[in-house]
Amino acid sequence: MYFIAGPSEVLAVTGCGIPDIKLAKKKWIWPGQKFTRVDISPVNYTFEVQAMSAEKLPFILPAVFTIGPRVDCEESMLKYTKLISPHDKLSNHVTELVQGVIEGETRVLAASMTMEQIFKGTKEFKKEVFDKVQLELDQFGLHIYNANVKQLVDVRGHEYFSYLGQKTQMEAANQARRKR
Protein backbone atom coordinates (compact mmCIF):
# COMPACT_ATOMS: atom_id res chain seq x y z
CA MET A 1 0.00 0.00 0.00
CA TYR A 2 1.05 3.59 -0.60
CA PHE A 3 1.16 5.95 2.42
CA ILE A 4 1.68 9.69 2.66
CA ALA A 5 2.75 11.52 5.82
CA GLY A 6 0.91 14.63 7.01
CA PRO A 7 2.46 18.11 6.84
CA SER A 8 4.10 17.82 10.27
CA GLU A 9 4.83 14.10 10.09
CA VAL A 10 7.35 11.70 8.62
CA LEU A 11 6.97 7.99 8.01
CA ALA A 12 9.48 5.75 9.82
CA VAL A 13 9.60 2.49 7.89
CA THR A 14 11.27 -0.72 9.10
CA GLY A 15 11.29 -4.35 8.10
CA CYS A 16 12.12 -6.40 5.04
CA GLY A 17 14.78 -4.81 2.83
CA ILE A 18 15.47 -1.90 5.25
CA PRO A 19 18.60 -2.38 7.42
CA ASP A 20 17.67 0.23 10.09
CA ILE A 21 14.96 2.88 9.64
CA LYS A 22 13.94 4.59 6.41
CA LEU A 23 12.39 8.04 6.79
CA ALA A 24 10.07 9.28 4.05
CA LYS A 25 7.19 11.66 3.40
CA LYS A 26 5.55 9.12 1.05
CA LYS A 27 6.36 5.46 0.61
CA TRP A 28 5.12 2.12 -0.71
CA ILE A 29 4.88 -0.25 2.25
CA TRP A 30 5.53 -3.82 1.10
CA PRO A 31 4.65 -7.08 2.85
CA GLY A 32 7.15 -7.64 5.68
CA GLN A 33 7.49 -3.91 6.33
CA LYS A 34 5.73 -1.70 8.83
CA PHE A 35 5.67 2.03 9.45
CA THR A 36 4.99 4.54 12.19
CA ARG A 37 3.91 8.13 11.74
CA VAL A 38 6.32 10.41 13.65
CA ASP A 39 5.13 13.90 14.60
CA ILE A 40 7.96 16.35 13.91
CA SER A 41 6.27 19.58 14.97
CA PRO A 42 8.12 21.59 17.67
CA VAL A 43 6.64 21.63 21.18
CA ASN A 44 6.64 24.38 23.82
CA TYR A 45 8.06 23.40 27.19
CA THR A 46 7.46 25.74 30.15
CA PHE A 47 9.69 25.38 33.19
CA GLU A 48 10.49 27.09 36.45
CA VAL A 49 13.97 25.82 37.16
CA GLN A 50 15.06 26.12 40.77
CA ALA A 51 18.80 26.68 40.93
CA MET A 52 21.41 27.81 43.45
CA SER A 53 24.35 30.18 43.02
CA ALA A 54 27.93 29.52 44.16
CA GLU A 55 27.07 31.21 47.50
CA LYS A 56 24.17 28.75 47.96
CA LEU A 57 21.53 31.43 47.30
CA PRO A 58 18.47 29.88 45.62
CA PHE A 59 16.58 31.47 42.73
CA ILE A 60 14.03 30.49 40.07
CA LEU A 61 14.65 30.73 36.33
CA PRO A 62 11.27 30.76 34.52
CA ALA A 63 11.65 29.78 30.86
CA VAL A 64 9.76 28.67 27.77
CA PHE A 65 11.64 26.57 25.21
CA THR A 66 10.31 25.61 21.77
CA ILE A 67 12.06 22.35 20.94
CA GLY A 68 11.62 19.85 18.15
CA PRO A 69 13.61 17.55 15.89
CA ARG A 70 16.20 19.12 13.61
CA VAL A 71 14.32 18.49 10.35
CA ASP A 72 17.10 19.68 8.03
CA CYS A 73 19.48 16.90 9.10
CA GLU A 74 18.72 13.24 8.33
CA GLU A 75 21.07 11.99 11.08
CA SER A 76 19.23 14.11 13.67
CA MET A 77 15.86 12.90 12.38
CA LEU A 78 16.99 9.28 12.80
CA LYS A 79 18.17 9.99 16.36
CA TYR A 80 14.84 11.64 17.17
CA THR A 81 12.84 8.80 15.61
CA LYS A 82 14.77 6.22 17.65
CA LEU A 83 14.21 8.34 20.78
CA ILE A 84 10.44 8.44 20.50
CA SER A 85 9.59 5.23 18.62
CA PRO A 86 9.55 2.89 21.65
CA HIS A 87 7.04 5.17 23.43
CA ASP A 88 3.37 5.78 22.76
CA LYS A 89 2.04 9.17 21.68
CA LEU A 90 0.81 10.09 25.19
CA SER A 91 4.18 9.35 26.81
CA ASN A 92 5.99 12.11 28.73
CA HIS A 93 9.35 10.61 27.74
CA VAL A 94 10.58 13.56 25.64
CA THR A 95 9.17 16.14 28.09
CA GLU A 96 10.99 14.49 30.99
CA LEU A 97 14.20 14.25 28.98
CA VAL A 98 14.07 17.92 27.93
CA GLN A 99 13.22 19.04 31.46
CA GLY A 100 16.08 17.00 32.90
CA VAL A 101 18.59 18.49 30.45
CA ILE A 102 17.42 22.08 31.01
CA GLU A 103 17.31 21.77 34.80
CA GLY A 104 20.64 19.94 34.99
CA GLU A 105 22.57 22.34 32.77
CA THR A 106 21.05 25.42 34.45
CA ARG A 107 21.90 24.17 37.93
CA VAL A 108 25.48 23.25 37.02
CA LEU A 109 26.08 26.65 35.40
CA ALA A 110 24.43 28.59 38.24
CA ALA A 111 26.45 26.74 40.87
CA SER A 112 29.66 27.93 39.20
CA MET A 113 28.66 31.63 39.35
CA THR A 114 28.04 34.10 42.14
CA MET A 115 24.63 35.71 42.42
CA GLU A 116 26.20 39.03 41.44
CA GLN A 117 27.61 37.48 38.23
CA ILE A 118 24.23 35.94 37.40
CA PHE A 119 22.33 39.17 38.08
CA LYS A 120 24.75 41.53 36.29
CA GLY A 121 25.35 39.18 33.35
CA THR A 122 21.80 37.89 32.95
CA LYS A 123 22.01 38.00 29.14
CA GLU A 124 25.30 36.06 29.07
CA PHE A 125 23.98 33.60 31.68
CA LYS A 126 20.89 32.88 29.57
CA LYS A 127 22.96 32.46 26.38
CA GLU A 128 25.32 30.05 28.11
CA VAL A 129 22.34 28.02 29.41
CA PHE A 130 20.93 27.81 25.86
CA ASP A 131 24.30 26.78 24.40
CA LYS A 132 24.85 24.05 27.00
CA VAL A 133 21.28 22.76 26.67
CA GLN A 134 21.56 22.66 22.85
CA LEU A 135 24.82 20.73 23.09
CA GLU A 136 23.07 18.05 25.19
CA LEU A 137 19.93 17.97 23.00
CA ASP A 138 22.03 17.39 19.86
CA GLN A 139 22.63 13.79 20.91
CA PHE A 140 18.85 13.16 20.72
CA GLY A 141 18.32 14.94 17.39
CA LEU A 142 16.51 17.82 19.10
CA HIS A 143 16.91 21.52 18.36
CA ILE A 144 15.96 24.66 20.30
CA TYR A 145 13.91 26.72 17.84
CA ASN A 146 13.17 29.46 20.36
CA ALA A 147 13.87 30.11 24.02
CA ASN A 148 12.55 32.86 26.23
CA VAL A 149 13.79 33.28 29.75
CA LYS A 150 11.83 35.60 31.96
CA GLN A 151 13.27 37.69 34.77
CA LEU A 152 15.11 35.68 37.42
CA VAL A 153 12.87 35.31 40.48
CA ASP A 154 13.64 35.04 44.19
CA VAL A 155 12.73 31.90 46.10
CA ARG A 156 10.36 32.73 48.97
CA GLY A 157 12.40 33.68 52.03
CA HIS A 158 15.42 34.66 49.93
CA GLU A 159 14.77 38.14 48.49
CA TYR A 160 18.14 38.71 46.84
CA PHE A 161 16.88 40.04 43.49
CA SER A 162 14.35 42.29 45.22
CA TYR A 163 17.12 43.67 47.40
CA LEU A 164 19.41 44.29 44.40
CA GLY A 165 16.57 46.03 42.56
CA GLN A 166 15.85 48.29 45.56
CA LYS A 167 19.56 49.02 45.96
CA THR A 168 19.84 50.03 42.28
CA GLN A 169 16.77 52.28 42.56
CA MET A 170 18.15 53.97 45.69
CA GLU A 171 21.52 54.56 44.01
CA ALA A 172 19.80 56.09 40.97
CA ALA A 173 17.65 58.32 43.21
CA ASN A 174 20.75 59.47 45.15
CA GLN A 175 22.57 60.31 41.90
CA ALA A 176 19.55 62.30 40.69
CA ARG A 177 19.47 64.27 43.97
CA ARG A 178 23.19 65.10 43.72
CA LYS A 179 22.77 66.45 40.17
CA ARG A 180 20.15 68.99 41.27
Q: Look at phi and psi of residue 34 and say left if phi exceeds 0, alpha if psi is from -120 to 50, else beta.
A: beta
| Confidence (pLDDT) at 93 | 83
Question: How far is Cα 3 from Cα 144, in angstroms, rounded to an integer?
Answer: 30
Question: How far is Cα 64 from Cα 85, in angstroms, rounded to an integer?
Answer: 25
Domains of the chain in start order, with CATH, are 1-39 (no CATH), 42-179 (3.30.479.30)
Residue by residue, pLDDT tens for the chain (180 residues) are 999 999 999 999 999 999 999 999 999 999 999 999 999 999 998 888 888 888 888 888 888 899 999 999 999 999 999 888 776 655 688 889 988 998 898 889 888 988 778 777 777 888 888 999 999 999 999 999 998 877 766 666 666 666 666 676 777 778 778 776
The pTM for the full model equals: 0.76
